[in-house]
Structure formats: structure tokens, C-alpha cells
Chain A
Amino acid sequence: MKKYSPTLTVKIWLAITASILITVVFSFMLSNLFYQKLYVENVEDALLAEGNRLALDYEGGPLSDEIRKNVEWYNSKNESEVFVVSNPRELSACLPFEIDYETLIQPQEREQLLNGEAIKKMGYEERFDREIMAVIIPLLDQNRLEGIIYLYVPLAKISELTKDFTYLWYIAGLLFMVISFYIGTILVRKLTKPLKQMTDAANRVSQGDYSARVFIHSADEVGQLASAFNHMSSSIQKEDERRKQFLANVSHELRTPLSYVKGYSEALLSGIAKSKEDKEKYMSIIARESKRMDRLVGDLLDLSRLEADEFKLEKIPLPFAQLVEDSTQKYNITMNEKGVKLSYDLDPDIIILGDEGRIEQVIQNIMDNALRYTEKGGISITLKKFRGGCSLSIEDTGTGIPKEDLDHITDRFYRVNKARTRANGGTGLGLAISKKIITLHGGSLKIESDWGKGTKVEVILPIVQMKE
């Protein structure tokens, strides 16, 4: 059986509803309490003040008839019940004799009254057979309790008053709840709508529609989530396009040499090439193009291996200047032929931790490019140490790279000259591979160029610190 799990909408709605309900009930209870307390205190204070004013008439000695009559008269005009008691029995005067009689004043109350303190009490009073709130004022002649003034209000009167208040509260509370539910529902819908949009968009992305976007412009968390989602889907889209482009590039790069190989081999087979020279020429073209393909496939393999995390460098300490010199030695002949001068300025003390073959590959890639685009002038190689690392810069006086292409020069298959043929070109992967290798060594590759003046490629690598 599938477990029921409520949607976010339901959850939020439930939370809002619950908090509204709790708020209403709680505030009702609180205000009822305060109202009663305030009202009761008010009545109590009024009774006390009333009693104290009446008690002012008493001037000591036995209670006079005048006071009794006055209080009786007052009682007839007044809302609360007021009466005077002077019967010592009612005042618990016979207490130690345990007379079997329910006195109006309890023994401990008598003590309090004897101390001149008024008594306030609330609750059921057997004498009146109802719930009352009472105030008792002592009439003391020195330390003789000559009598008391007893004032009380039935509690029913107070609860009647609070009844009106309660009805008002019920109506207000109900109205408040209806409005709150309505607003709450709208709010919840507004809150969860972008989430629904995002779910739909995510579904579209997972089905391959990378152009899916959500259109939410709020600045809150949901808005941030939406913009993060949009960013993600656009990244996926770009990556997808790059992948497609790459595949197209690869097939394109492979198709040219393949068509050479196919064409010339068919020519050879069908006997179009009659002369021995022609045959040899065809064969050499086939050999050249297969070598290109081999190189291309080799580079692709390298790149994919480098990009996969499994690639392991075999790092050993290398004297960098020596390595640079050795790997550029072979270009001497070509450069002499071209009339390009090669100059060195190498700091021989620099030792780096690196994979010899790979570093050599990087130098060769850069040198290949430099040589390819430099017709006259020279190439200068500088190796310098700086704090924490070293920089190898290879500067040529070649054609240079236009500014708009500089950022993409290390992309795979990126060519500055789109129309350039494969004849003088490499695989288009050299710089991409170089950059990857340098990055894996913990370094960086920087390319600066002025169109028409030359290019400077700078490799920055960490060095091995020599212990003094």
C-alpha cells in the first residue's frame, strides 16, 4: 500500500490553518481571562472602596442602629448586596467552644479581621447558596471585633457580562478565520505556483528539452531557486551544443583524411595511376593522411583520458631548463630553413615536479603553433623563477591571434582561421591538451597576443623548493 504523503500545498495550508486556529483560540482564552480578571478586580476594588467608605461612619463601641439603618438604606439603593453583621456567633467569637454552627466568618478570617485587614473572597458561599465575590470590612473598636460590613456580588452577574463579550468574540473570531482562510489559500497558491512551474520545466529538461526555462522574477528563495534552475538548464544546453559541435568537428576532421585515403586507394585499385611515380605519389598521400588520422585519434584519446579523472601523471623532479632545451633542439633545422631565429634565456636552477613526457608534449604543442605561424623574426624562450613558481614564456613574432578569438583559443577544434586547411594545421586539439596537462600539474596557461605582431604563451608551474 502506498503511504499517503500530502503535497507541499496541503502541508503549508494545514500549517497556516493550524496557526490561525491556535491564535484565535488562544487569544480568545487570554482576553477572556484578562477581561474577567480586570473586571473582577475592578468590581472587587469598587466593593472594597464602598465598604471602606461605609466603615468610616463607625466610630467605635457597639454598632449603633443608625449605622445599621444607613447600611440598609444604602443596600436598597445599591447594586451590590451590603449588610452589617455584629452577631459574635456569626463572627466566630465562640470558636473554641466548637459550637455546631456554620458561621459566616471562618476562624482564620476572624484573625485577619482582628488585624484590621479586609477580606476579599470569591467562590461558593453556603450561606447564600451561590457563587459570590465578597469583600468583608472589619469594624474594630481597638482590638474588639464589634462587627463587619459584608459586601458581595453574585458571580452570575459577572458571567452574564462576559457572555456578551463571548458572543462578540465568536463572531469576530469566525469572521477572522474565514478571511484568514481565504487569504491563506491565495497565499499558498502563490507560493507553490513557481514550484509547480519548476517541476514542469525540470520534467521537460529530463526529456531532453534543454531550452526549458521558468519565468519567475521574485527576489525571494523561490526566485533564487528559479534563477539557479535557469542557469543550470542553460549550462546543460551549452554543454549539449558543445558536445554536438565536438562530434561534428571530430567527424569532419576524420572525414577529410578518410576521403583522401578512400579516393587514392580506389584510384590505385582501379588502375588509374599508371606510372610508377603516380603510384608512389598516391601511396605517400594515403600514408600521410593515415598518419594525420592516427595523430588525430591519438590526440582525441589523450584529451578524453586527461579529462577523465582516472588519468595519472608520473611526476618526478625535472630540471626544467634542460627539458626545455632538449625538447626544442629538434626544431633547429626547420627554423634554420625558415630563417627564424630561436633564442633562450633559461634559469638553470629551476626544478619542477612533473611528468616528463607530458611537459615535453606541452612544449612541443606550443612550439608547433609558434613555428607554424611565424614566417620571419624569431622565437624567444624565457624561463624565470618567481616566488613560489616559475614561468616559461614562448614568444613569437608571428601573425598573432585576434582579440575576439583569444578566449576560445584553448577550446577543442577551435581555429582562428576557419577556412584553414588541414595541410598546415594540426589537429586543433593541441592547446586544449596543453591546458589540461598544465592544469593537472597545478599550473596555468596564459596566452597574450597582438594581431600582426606576435603571440606570447606563458606556462606557470609550481617549483620544487630546494632545501637550503
Chain B
Amino acid sequence: MLSRVADSLYWMARNIERAETNARVLSVQLIHMLEVSEQHVSNRDWEEIIEISASLSDYYSGHDGIEREEVIHYLTQDRQNFNSISNCMIYARENAKATRDMIPDGLWEVLNQYYLEHTGESRFSSYQQAQHALQLTMQTSTTAQGIVESSMTRGVPYAFLKIGKWLERAEKTARILNVLCEKTLKEKQAANVSNYYYWLTALQQVNGYNAYIKEYPPTMKPEHVLSFIIDNRGFPRSIRYCIDHVMEAIHHLEDGKISHYSQQLFHTLATVQEEFTAAHIDDMSTEELMAFLDRFQNRCQEMSRLFSETYYLIDPVKIK
């Protein structure tokens, strides 16, 4: 497969995944806003959402303060924000366009339809409208993944799509937890009630509440939530699950052999797996956990770079 095409596939998957998670994070926040009357949603809550889904410093370089409608626009439709949902979906479609001869027609059509119907909209005029658009984004992403799973041959293009998705997911999950840790640290003295709410939010953001409740009914202990989201080998959004599957996909790609050119990539992946096995998430203090997550996010960047180098990936499709 052409390196350029492989790169586009990889980034298409990342962009779809990013759009979906960003949509879910905002959707959870909008529901939360309804539940706790508006005055109690602080600016800091919004800053955290921005930090998870984009970059807070980028946001402040163009805005003076936090204003609800403005933040929603920034995260969903603003073309100035590289990570806005619209941008992610537009990039995903461009990547799909560059790889149309490799992917199922249905996958292209789903992304094209989203583009035609939802990326040119004017600002949302109501809460319902915004919520509806977010649901639609998540639906588009799951439909796209369904098409990939049900119709793509388990070959090289499939592997690149999956690796992109898992790396994106692992990194994002780490980011969500990092923001959350920072928050609990700042509010050490706060009552357990609000902590309960934080952990619930984290589970919702990674779409894991229902799965968690089945495994740990009906408690919400931080150590349980953390080990579930970080280390659970069966939960498809846990960091552990994602890394295991990246490893598996690359093994498959290489027919189980480690060659000279892929040596470093395998080595780094194995190191990350070992770090997870050695770490005792349950016993870590918040500070230790944050350091652990920080290190992991750096590892993600390293894996992404090594992956690109190993397969000669070149610049993703330039957006004009």
C-alpha cells in the first residue's frame, strides 16, 4: 500500500474517533448543565472541557473569557479550532476522499453525507439543536466503525484504520483522566459527594458508565473507576485495551516477525505494556497518577512518531 494512502487511512480513523469523543464530552457537559442549575456551572468546568477537546491556550488567544454559547460554537463548528467537531469530520472526509479506492463505498458515503448536511450549519440556536448535532456525530462515527467491521477485509488498510483509532482513543482517555486528577487535587477538601460526581462524569465521557456498573455495582470508588478506565483488559476504551490492540495489529501487519525496521516500534510498545503491568494504579496518590498519565501521553506521541517512521508515512492530506 502507498505510504500516503496508509497515512490518510490512519488519520481518517483518528479524526473520526476524535470527533466522536469530543462530541460525547460536550454532550455529557450539556446534560450536566441541565441537572445542576446553571449558576453552579463554573468557568472552570468549561475550561476543563476545552482542555480535553482542544487547547485552552489556543482558545484564550482568540477569546477574552468564557461564555457558554461561544464555547459551544468553538468546540463544535468553529473552523478556527483545528479540533472542532466540524473540522475533524471535514478532515476525515478529505482523508476518505484520498483513499476512496481502498475503503468501502458505504464508509465514504456516511462521511460525505455528514459533510453535506452538518458542516455548513449556522450557529446552534438552542440547547436541543446542539445536543441533536452531537448525537448525530456520535452516530456517524459508530456507523462508520460498523461499516469498517462488517465489510473490510482484515488486511493492511484495516490495520491502519484500527491503529489510528486505538492510539487516538488511548491518548484521549489519558487526557480525560489527567484533567480529572488535576481537578480532584485542587479540590482535595471538597466533600465526597462532588467527587462521586467527578468519577461519574469521567465514566460517561469515555462511554463506560454502564459497563462499569456491571463490574462494580453499585459503588463509585475512585480506585475502581481508575483501574477500570486505565487497566481493564476487556473494556474497549481502557488505555490498556487500546495499547494491547495496537500491539496485536502491528504483530499481524508484520506476520508476527520483528524486523530490523520495526524493532524500535515493537520495543516501545512492549515497554508501555510493561509499565502498565508494573504500575499499581490502586496504590497511587493523585500526584503519582498524574505523573504516570503524563508519561503515558508522551509515550503516545512517541508511538505515533515511530509508527509513522516505520511505515514511511508522509504528511496527511493538506487541507486547502
Q: Verify that A and B bind, or say they do not.
A: no
